[in-house]
Structure formats: structure tokens, C-alpha cells
Amino acid sequence: MKGFWKISVIALAAVTVTACAGTKLQDARKMEPTGSPYNVELSRGYLELSRLEYSEGDYVDSDFFAERSMATGRGQNVAPQEVGARHEPADKVGELTSARQRLVAAQGNNAAAVAPSDTARAQVMFDCWMQEQEENFQPDDIAACHNGFEQAMRRVESAMMPKPVAMPMPGEYLVFFDWNKANVTPEAASILDSVVAAAEKMGDTKVVATGYTDTSGSAAYNVGLSVRRAEAVKEVLTSEGIPAQNITTIGRGEEDPLVPTGDDVREPQNRRVQIQFEK
């Protein structure tokens, strides 16, 4: 009888633990994530993992991912799960460790700002891979998480590669600006000297100065900033003898970046004014 009661108590405890699990998903669903684009995407990714695990009856892991969703949705820094935190098959520890090091290295190089969606996707898929590999009985799910991680990491690493220096087209000049500034730098002024010399050779010609910004700041603010940059170029050109009526200024804000980026990225080559001649 004592043995029977002991087994009964253990079984009751297991049922109690199971009954208490699986409650976090609803809390996470009620939360609207805030913070950087990276944190918002990470929160949504973890919420989807929580939902999937709940649908499979894995309430413990559903709670784990729901808690991560809420933490990242509050703007907290949540790192990819440590490999030692789960009981992974011995022959998979090396591969998982290398994958995590690859992801953490990219994050340390500001990947979350350069490619927020793909960096968040890579972390979510890594933690998914960890969880499925620990269970080790659903090969299709393991492969899906693994492949999702690899695809996202390739996009992250591609976005992190050094960009070639932008070169103007023939008959086109580019001047660049400091972040959130519209004043003409000494380097830009020397290029504008070349614009003036070219205009003098061409005679009566029209000049179009089109301003641009990077993606940091709001789109509306950046339109105004791009206009101020174009107007600053016009001021220098008119002071050097080009008639003001011959110069048209345009502000394009974040449109047509030289270097495509995600949102809220301070890419120097996108902070520019493009100068072209028109007859």
C-alpha cells in the first residue's frame, strides 16, 4: 500500500505541474511588443513558437517561448539560448555550438540594426532548433528549424558585408553629409567647386540638386532633412556664381538609398545630395 500511495502522489504531482503549464501563451498574446524593430520581430517570432508548441501539447516549452516573447516585447535583451541549457544529443553539441557562435558574432557587429528582421528570425530559428533537437524524435521539425536558421543567417551575413563606395555616374556629382546634419562639409565643398567649374564650361545649364537621408528617424522628418541638404548645396553653388534660378532642389528623404538597409540604420552613403546637369 505504501508503494501504491507513493506512486499515486508522484502521478498527482505530475498532473499538477502539467496543469500549471501552458498559461503564459495567453499573457503573451495580450501584449503589444515595443522597442526596436529587432525586438518587435523577435517577440513575434517567439510568440509563434509558443503557439506551435502549445498546439502540440508541449506546454512547458510553450511557456518558455511565451516568456521570451514578453521579455523581448518589453525591450529586454534576450540572447539565444545557451547550448548547455538543454540536454542535446552528444553528436549535435558541436554543430549547435558553432551555429550559436556564428549568430552571437553577427549580433556583436550590430546585425540587429543592419538586418533586424533576419537577425531576429535567425535567433528564433536557433532556439527552435535547440528545442526540437533536444526532443530528437521529429526529424522534419528539426530540419525546418535548422534550415530556417541557415537561411536567415545567410541573409544577415550578406547584409553585413562591406558595401562598395558609391561612385557617381558620368555627369553626376555626389556630396555626403554627417548624420542628422545639413551643413556642407569641407570635403563636400571641394566637390561643389568641381560642379561650379563644370557648369561654367557648359554655359547656360540647369542644375538639379536632390537630397537624401539614411533610414534613421521618421520618414516625415527625413524628407525635411533631405530638402535642407539640397538647399545647403544650392546656397554654396549660388555663392560661387551659378544663378539661383538655374538650380532646382528636391528632397527625397529615405527613398532610393545607394545602400539598401533596414529601418533605423545610419548608413553614411545614403546621407547625400546628388547633383546633375540638365540642358
Length of the chain: 279
What nine digits make up the cell of 42? Answer: 523577435
Are residues 179 and 148 located together in one domain of the fold? Answer: no
Q: What is the CATH number of the domain that holds 269?
A: 3.30.1330.60
**Separation between Cα atoms, residue 109 and residue 153, nearest integer Å:** 13
- Least confident range from 66-75, 221-230, 252-261: namely 252-261
Identify the bridge partners of residue 249 per DSSP, sorted by sequence position.
209
Global pTM reads: 0.61
Does residue 8 sit within a domain? no
Does residue 1 sit within a domain? no
DSSP-derived 3-state class of residue 189: helix
What nine digits make up the cell of 12? Answer: 498527482
Are residues 70 and 130 located together in one domain of the fold? Answer: yes
Are residues 99 and 227 located together in one domain of the fold? Answer: no
Q: Note the pLDDT of residue 166.
A: 66
In terms of residue numbers, what domain contains 218? 172-278
What nine digits make up the cell of 69? Answer: 516573447
Does residue 250 sit within a domain? yes
**Separation between Cα atoms, residue 233 and residue 5, nearest integer Å:** 87
Q: Note the pLDDT of residue 14.
A: 42
Q: Note the pLDDT of residue 263.
A: 87
Q: Can you tell me the mean pLDDT for 24-35?
A: 95
Are residues 177 and 259 located together in one domain of the fold? Answer: yes
Residue-wise pLDDT tens digits, 176-198:
999 999 999 999 999 999 999 99
Are residues 269 and 178 located together in one domain of the fold? Answer: yes
Mean pLDDT of the chain: 90
Flag whether pLDDT at 129 surpasses 80: yes
Does residue 7 sit within a domain? no
Are residues 33 and 128 located together in one domain of the fold? Answer: yes
Task: Determine the distance from the C-alpha atom of residue 75 to the mean position of all C-alpha atoms in its chain, rounded to a whole number.
Answer: 15
Residue-wise pLDDT tens digits, 148-181:
999 999 999 998 887 776 666 567 999 999 999 9
Does residue 166 sit within a domain? no
Residue-wise pLDDT tens digits, 9-29:
334 444 444 446 779 999 999
Are residues 212 and 255 located together in one domain of the fold? Answer: yes
Q: How does residue 92 score in pLDDT terms, banded at 50, 70 and 90? A: very high
Last residue of a domain, one of 160, 195, 223: 160
Does residue 71 sit within a domain? yes
Are residues 128 and 177 located together in one domain of the fold? Answer: no
Are residues 25 and 142 located together in one domain of the fold? Answer: yes
Are residues 151 and 182 located together in one domain of the fold? Answer: no
Does residue 13 sit within a domain? no
Flag whether pLDDT at 68 surpasses 90: yes
Whether 130 contacts 86, CB under 8 Å:
yes
Does residue 139 sit within a domain? yes
Whether 258 contacts 210, CB under 8 Å:
no
Are residues 152 and 180 located together in one domain of the fold? Answer: no
Work out how many domains the chain is built from and give that number: 2
Are residues 176 and 154 located together in one domain of the fold? Answer: no
Q: How does residue 207 score in pLDDT terms, banded at 50, 70 and 90? A: very high
**Separation between Cα atoms, residue 49 and residue 25, nearest integer Å:** 10
If you count DSSP H runs as helices and E runs as strands, how many of each does the chain have, helices first?
A: 10, 4
Q: Note the pLDDT of residue 30.
A: 95
Q: Note the pLDDT of residue 253.
A: 96
